């Protein structure tokens, strides 16, 4: 029995892992890397012989977990592909959008391999996807029977962790996990039965969350920043990812308005965010959903959608602009709109999710109000940041202390640390080495195989 890290780079991105369980071979997730392009964005699929994989299991539809799935399916044409229904519906839309992005990048980046797959190939893939829900057991393999069960992961709607059992060996893969309720998604419901191997994410391992943190207190601080911006005659830009964070933010704003923490304000969304919200609304009564029955596009007061074909909304004072991407990447709506917000001290940019240090959003956070930032890579022009800049913790990933507690509760013999940068995985290596002295704790290098 063996685990192989198929991720080609040692940080977060292109998440994909091979499990050899006797004669049955599984791949967990199939993501692309957001910091690379062309073939370099893919996992190490060239190391896999064609048509040897029995099944591909997908934890959730963020592109760092699903973006390479059409490529893997093309090379593993007999593999069963299994995910939750919510991941199927959101993932289809995200992969079609990925095709559009790659078509644009073919010229922008001079990347002749783009697009890595077509709209027709995505449609063909989706027809092969099978869905299973938490609580349903299913199995693969003929000679070596492998049993799988999904569990709600709480990261985004439909995200799952998975328990895999073969030949008396029990493995649990967390995927991306959050144990606390957010505003759309209920927290994870993971088992704590003993496992032989735990494959665990480490995203937030590089910092401790404030012990006094509560989501409610952070929500109130966020509301206070909105009110302060509106009172000085400005508008608020909240850079958000189209799937997950947009819907979480809209429900948070609903709570803020309903509780009287801020006046009802027009909220602008656009592009892919609207498509993803349509999917979320279709599952308004899903058991993982909070605010059951509420449909954002129908029920949210004064929600303004960017007209089809428009590159950015009109600017008006006294409004909230929830625009993608969350990292304000170039050629996205939030990036184009940023210049309107940066230019005045009346406005504010409020970050509610992850922004890589090298992305425009990360550079704005690092410079802060009064600093200067080059919004476009390679540009000598710097814009002055006159607006307020603040960051809030509404992460969809569990804080490191909760992940350690979960690992200890599972009493694993082997812990494999994935989905984190060097500092994050290093902290987990030290902490779990101390709290699980009898366990083997491993940071797998790209391409490394580990016997289980």
Residues 8 and 30 in one domain: yes
Q: What is the per-residue burial (b if ≥16 Cβ within 10 Å, else e) of 4-37?
A: bbbbbeeebbbbbbbbbbeebbbbbbbbbbbeeb
- State which of 371, 391, 411 marks the end of a domain: 391
* 418-449 tens-digit pLDDT: 999 999 999 999 999 999 999 999 999 999 99
Rounded to whole angstroms, the Cα distance separating 428 from 406 reads: 12
Distance CA(137)–CA(150), nearest Å, equals 8
pLDDT confidence of 354, banded at 50, 70, 90? confident
The verdict on 50 and 143 lying in the same domain is: yes
Mean model confidence pLDDT for the chain: 95
pLDDT, one tens digit per residue, over 151-209 is: 999 999 999 999 999 999 999 999 999 999 999 999 999 999 999 999 999 999 999 99
Looking at the structure, tell me whether residues 202 and 219 fall in a common domain.
no
Pair 318, 427 in one domain: no
- Looking at the fold, whether 62 and 118 belong to one and the same domain comes out as yes
258 shares a domain with 199: no
Number of folded domains in the chain? 2
Question: Tens digit of pLDDT for each residue in 196-239?
Answer: 999 999 999 999 999 999 999 999 999 999 999 999 999 999 99
162 & 232 share domain: no
For residue 387, give every residue at least 6 positions away whose Cβ sits within 8 Å of its Cβ, in sequence order, or none.
234, 341, 342, 343, 344, 345, 346, 347, 348, 349, 369
Max CA pair span of the chain: 69
Residue where a domain terminates, one of 346, 376, 391? 391
Its domain, for residue 410, covers: 2-207+396-451
Residues 59 and 202 in one domain: yes
CA angle 352–358–359, rounded 5-degree value: 50
CA separation for the pair 196, 129 (Å, rounded): 29
Q: The domain that contains 133 carries what CATH number?
A: 3.60.15.10
- Asked whether the beta carbons of 83 and 136 are under 8 A apart, the reply is no
pTM above 0.75, yes or no: yes
Kindly tell me if the per-residue pLDDT of 11 is higher than 80: yes
Same domain, 188 and 74: yes
Q: Are 152 and 188 in contact (CB under 8 A)?
A: yes
- 376 and 347: one domain? yes
Instruction: Assess whether 333 and 433 both reside in one domain.
Output: no
Nearest to 288 by CA among 410, 146, 178: 178
Q: Tell me which of 391, 419, 437 is where a domain ends.
A: 391
CA 123 to centroid of chain Cα atoms: 22
Task: Give 378's pLDDT tier (boundaries 50, 70, 90).
Answer: low
> H or E stretch including 400?
helix 400-410
| CATH number of the domain to which 320 belongs | 3.40.50.10890
Q: Are residues 301 and 349 in the same domain?
A: yes
């Amino acid at each position: 029995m063996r685990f192989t890290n198929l991720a080609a780079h040692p940080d977060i991105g292109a998440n994909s892992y091979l499990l050899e369980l006797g004669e049955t071979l599984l791949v967990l997730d199939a993501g692309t890397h957001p910091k690379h392009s062309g073939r370099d964005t893919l996992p190490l699929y060239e190391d896999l012989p064609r048509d040897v994989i029995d099944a591909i299991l997908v934890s959730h539809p963020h592109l760092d977990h699903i973006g390479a799935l059409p490529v893997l399916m093309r090379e593993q044409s007999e593999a069963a592909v299994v995910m939750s229904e919510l991941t199927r519906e959101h993932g289809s839309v995200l992969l079609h959008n990925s095709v559009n992005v790659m078509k644009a990048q073919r010229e922008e980046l001079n990347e002749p391999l783009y697009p890595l797959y077509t709209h027709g190939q995505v449609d063909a893939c989706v027809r092969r996807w099978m869905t299973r829900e938490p609580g349903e057991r299913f199995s693969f393999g003929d000679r070596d029977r492998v049993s799988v069960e999904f569990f709600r992961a709480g990261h985004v709607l439909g995200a799952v962790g998975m328990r895999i059992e073969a030949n008396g060996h029990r493995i649990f893969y967390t995927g991306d996990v959050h144990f606390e309720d957010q505003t759309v998604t209920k927290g994870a419901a993971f088992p704590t039965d003993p496992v032989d191997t735990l494959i665990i994410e480490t995203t937030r391992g590089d910092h401790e969350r404030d012990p006094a943190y509560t989501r409610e207190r952070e929500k109130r601080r966020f509301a206070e920043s909105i009110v302060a911006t509106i009172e000085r005659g400005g508008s608020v830009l909240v850079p958000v990812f189209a799937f997950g964070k947009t819907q979480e933010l809209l429900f948070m704003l609903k709570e803020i308005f309903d509780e009287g923490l801020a006046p009802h304000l027009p909220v602008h969304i656009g592009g892919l965010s609207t498509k993803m919200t349509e999917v979320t609304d279709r599952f308004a009564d899903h058991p993982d959903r909070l605010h059951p029955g509420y449909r954002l596009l129908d029920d949210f007061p004064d929600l303004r959608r960017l007209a089809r074909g428009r590159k950015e909304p009109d600017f008006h004072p006294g409004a909230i602009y929830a625009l993608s991407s969350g990292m304000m990447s170039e050629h996205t709506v939030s990036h184009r709109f940023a210049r309107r917000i940066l230019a005045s001290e009346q406005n504010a940019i409020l970050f509610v999710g992850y922004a890589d240090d090298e992305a425009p959003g990360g550079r704005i956070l690092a410079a802060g109000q009064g600093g200067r930032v080059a919004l476009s890579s390679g540009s000598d022009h710097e814009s002055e940041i006159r607006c307020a800049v603040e960051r809030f913790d509404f992460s969809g990933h569990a804080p490191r202390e909760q992940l350690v507690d979960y690992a200890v509760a599972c009493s694993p013999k082997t812990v494999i640390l994935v989905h984190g940068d060097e500092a994050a995985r290093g902290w987990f290596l030290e902490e779990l080495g101390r709290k699980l002295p009898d366990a083997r704790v491993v940071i797998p290098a790209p391409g490394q195989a580990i016997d289980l």
